[in-house]
Structure 1
Amino acid sequence: MMNYAYDTSLQETMILTEAFHTDRAIYDNGSLYKFIWVQEGKLTLIVDHVEIEMEEDEIISVSNLHRTEFKNVSGRYLALLFNENFYGIYKHEKEVSCSGVLFSGTSGIVHLRLPIADSELLREVVDRMVTEYILRDSLQGEMLRLLLKRFIILCTRLARKQLSGFPVNEKGFDIIQRYYVLVDNHFKEKKQVQAYAALLHRSPKTLSNLFAAYGMPSPLKIIQERVVTEAKRLLLHTSHSIKEISVILGFESVGTFSRFFKNMTGENTSAYRKRLQ
């Protein structure tokens, strides 16, 4: 069974494993970005309380913000895990352009089906990673970083194709990607499309038309989903009161927050917390 780990005194971590679900030390590590790739059979995951069914040659990317649980493993999968210290997603954004595509804080998980050619390319990268894990020389870390970068770029290209549903206009998709990144960074204080349109030097109508053309959720829906996703995490994984959560998320009052949550989920905050905790 494949199980390799690279760790340094600088708390840099990159792990390649087929036993993620059985290793509590890494399973409970909330700092890891994750690629989970089904190699054979089927896999059922629960990511932020949403069930995801996966089959052979399907891969998902999960940020360090998402809670990931394994419900059923009927086959073999590969997990590629790394933390910000090993490879900073935002630090390397200009090189790999994956923020807002592969990794964002929303509840929407990128779930890709690998064509044969893409699967073979990713397998070649993984084989090279295994070789580097075995070598263990002074250049090991840098080689693993380069290989991870290649893995991320290959997945980003595939995601751009599959998420848009047609050949990608680079400029248009870059704007969408930047919008997602901005929402991730500012959703607590900026909840209107106009604020993000100004940062992107576009009009709200232009953004709405662009997102519609790519079959994406509306710009306002993306903001709302990011806010409600964070609200759910705070409700389930912290002891903050409803009032404290409303302040953290930038709402004017607990009543405004409660109405927003009820409109988005159909359930009030207290009932949601009680049901899922």
Structure 2
Amino acid sequence: MKYTMDFAEMTIPLYMASKIPVIAQCTVTNSLQHGGLLVEDLAVYLGRNKNLVFPHRHNFYHFILFTSGSGSHSIDFEQFEIEPWQMYFMSPGQIHTWAFDKDIAGFVINFDRDFFKTFLLRPEYVNNFSFFSGLVKDEVFVVVEQEREALLHILARLLAHVDDLDFARISLLYLFHVLEKQRRLPDVGENNLYNHTLLRNFMDLIETNYRRLRLPKEYAALLYITPNHLNALAKEFLGFSAGELIRDRIVLEAKRLLVIHDYSVSDIAYELNFNDNSYFTKFFKKATGLTPDEFRKTMVIKHK
């Protein structure tokens, strides 16, 4: 038996923002979080939230480690089959759904956006970890064998001392560093760090401005580099052109809005700053191979 539900059966209380279902942490924790943090056995968490399987967003950071079990989950419309030692991270705002079997085991951690605000001089430092990039390709991975024992030790201690918030913050940061170490490319010096910083700033600018800035040259100007330099960096480190990254962010937001049925195609075109429905439809179909209405229908079928 799986934790599943038809898309139409959205019955639990939701916090609504721009017609997108956003789940607040208080909805999923049953008052168990401590100062904006929840650390819990995954089977217990799923048992309490067994109806939370329709597409939704969170207003908090969320990550899960699977130590056993099967099933699938999706983040921003990319689906993954569960395997032991898989871990996924989600930033606030990403769309998520799951279909887990009942033999699932592992850990879940949720923490609020401001969890590190008074603890770090630069709270945004957390966003420097690759798995909080907002790019799905960085957020789902299998923990390498040599890091598993250390990871379990950290999570077990967090579970036992979740009410000690300073200990929890230090432990979480250490856990992030352990995981980042296995994913980071070999250091090639200051120039590499500079380039990664530029790309991170580019991605942050896209996130803030994708509704109104569509051209790589506009972002290059904000970064004080040439469009050719920006494009070369994006291709070298991410495998996509700068224009593709901008386009993909617009398409992702369009997909997110399309899964909400009372948001018309006209509403979405206006929300994303397109001049008219026809231009938006052509843009979306060129990127996905489907019209907005066709994409919406495929999502309804998928969640029945």
Relative to the length of structure 1, the TM-score reads: 0.81
Which residue matches 2:171?
147
Q: Is 1:24 aligned with 2:55?
A: no
User: Which secondary structure does the structure 1 equivalent of 2:235 belong to?
Assistant: helix
Structure 2 Cα separation of the partners of residues 124 and 203 of structure 1: 47
What is the percentage of aligned positions where both structures have the same residue? 21
- Once the two structures are superposed, the pairs formed by residues 1-277 of structure 1 within 5 Å of their partners are 5-8=32-35, 12-19=36-43, 20-24=45-49, 27=52, 30-73=58-101, 74-87=103-116, 92-94=123-125, 97-98=128-129, 101-106=130-135, 108=137, 110-133=139-162, 136=163, 140-161=164-185, 167=187, 169-237=192-260, 239-277=262-300
User: Which secondary structure does the structure 1 equivalent of 2:105 belong to?
Assistant: strand
Q: How many residues align?
A: 261
Point out the more displaced range, 245-254 or 224-233.
245-254
Aligned-residue CA RMSD (Å): 2.9
Per-residue CA distance 1:137-176 (angstroms, 9 max, x = gap): xxx2222222222223333443433xxxx65632222222
Deviation (angstroms), 1:263? 0.7
Q: CA, structure 1 residues 270+157, in 2 after alignment: closer, same or farther (shift >3 Å)?
A: same
Instruction: Decide whether the 8 Å contact of 1:34 with 1:63 is kept in 2.
Output: yes
Structure 1 Cα separation of the partners of residues 180 and 156 of structure 2: 20
Q: CA, structure 1 residues 274+236, in 2 after alignment: closer, same or farther (shift >3 Å)?
A: same
Structure 2, unpaired ranges of 5+:
1-28
Structure 2 Cα separation of the partners of residues 30 and 215 of structure 1: 26
Structure 2 Cα separation of the partners of residues 173 and 62 of structure 1: 21
User: Which secondary structure does the structure 2 equivalent of 1:150 belong to?
Assistant: helix
Structure 2 Cα separation of the partners of residues 246 and 198 of structure 1: 26
Amino acid at match of 2:284: F
Amino acid at match of 2:172: L
Per-residue CA distance 1:195-243 (angstroms, 9 max, x = gap): 1112222212112222222253222111111111111111112522211
Relative to the length of structure 2, the TM-score reads: 0.74
